[in-house]
Amino acid sequence: MIKSDATLDALGLLCPLPVLKARKRLKSLAQGDILEVLADDPAALIDMPHFCAESGHEFLGQSAGDGHQIYLIRKGGLR
């Protein structure tokens, strides 16, 4: 189990808001910190890994929560 440094609740938000809010939240974290994102938008399954690849962050994976998905992102470089 990976311990996160911060959690973003994006439940009830539709594309592109979960990714936009994750981007904003990651800015306040230190490089290497892990952000846990809670989202129930089906598009986030595609959007989160793509966002990480394009932004230089490491997508650590996703798991199922109670009616939502949990995404783990390690903050990467200064892109």
Domain range for 54 is 6-74
SS3 26: helix
Mean per-residue pLDDT for 26-46? 97
User: Which residues are part of the catalytic machinery?
Assistant: 15
Specify the CATH number for the domain of residue 34. Answer: 3.30.110.40
State the total domains in the chain. 1
Domain membership of residue 21 (yes or no) is: yes
Residue 48 lies inside a defined structural domain of this protein: yes
Cα dihedral across residues 7, 52, 77, 24: positive or negative = negative
What span, in angstroms and rounded, lies between the C-alpha atoms of 18 and 48?
8
Reply yes or no on whether the pLDDT at 72 is more than 70: yes
> 73 vs 38, 62, CA distance in Å?
11, 9
Which pLDDT value is given to residue 42?
Answer: 96
Within a domain: residue 67? yes
Query: Is residue 79 in some structural domain?
Result: no
Q: Read off the pLDDT of residues 16-30 as tens digits, 9 standing for 90 and up.
A: 999 999 999 999 999
User: Is 41 in contact with 16 (CB distance < 8 Å)?
Assistant: no
Residue 2, pLDDT score: 87
**Helices of type H across 1-79:** 17-27, 44-55
